[in-house]
Homo-oligomer: A and B are copies of this chain.
């Protein structure tokens, strides 16, 4: 399939690398191709500048958000939450119309120090803001509740015996994404929370996730629902 990843950070790199490895044709979208390639500082989590990563992944094209939206059959929003709406506007409403957008982003606000708070929560969510701004996009919230390495390889923690909530208004898009996550990444326990308002719940899992990362000293964990 033709997959477009919006966002060049660690999440975008990890998703793109894994999907290209699996045989998909992958492009990564960015605001400015030249600026992204000119960056020389490492990412906030110590990941190399994009250009160094790109050299290891020659099959993955770096393109504008708009070109990524045109080329992708399934799109992943891996931009930072605060930049997501602007990135999607740059991608273009017409280019996005009818496409499935897997919204992986979290509305984290680091401006008030650590741990981050959320820029939107409780009675609204980033995924709902995106769905309202782009009503013709088939938004599916997924993967935002785990670290990038767990997203693409759930078996790396607890043998994959843990859960992934998904939600969205378009049942067919949700079914497609669910199947995609199972067959490409090996997710076993995907739970459909219902419509896109479920993103309030999954984005509000970030605070407990962040505190637990601090306690466990690793991002390699997830939650299993025990009955």
Contacts and interface: CB of A to CB of B under 8 A. Distances in A.
Interface of A: 112, 117-118, 121-123, 157-158, 161-162, 165, 191-194, 198, 200-202, 204-205, 207-208, 210-212, 214-216, 218, 220-227
Copies assembled? 2
B200 A215 contact: no
Contact of A200 (B191, B198, B207, B212): B207
Contact of A221 (B117, B161, B207, B227): B227
Q: Is the interface of A mostly helix, strand, loop or mixed?
A: mixed
A226 B121 contact: no
Contacts of A227: 157-158, 216, 218, 220-221
Contact of A122 (B122, B216, B220): B122
Nearest to A209: B201
B201 A215 contact: no
B201 A211 contact: yes
Nearest to A158: B226
Nearest to A145: B208
A204 B205 CA distance: 7
The residue among A112, A216, A223 with the most chain B CB atoms within 10 A of its own CB is: A223
A29 to B, nearest CB: 30
Contacts of A201: 207-208, 210-211
Contacts of A121: 121-122, 204
Contacts of A161: 226
17 contacts: A117-B123, A122-B207, A158-B226, A162-B224, A191-B212, A193-B215, A194-B211, A198-B211, A205-B205, A220-B227, A221-B225, A221-B226, A222-B226, A223-B223, A223-B225, A223-B226, A224-B226
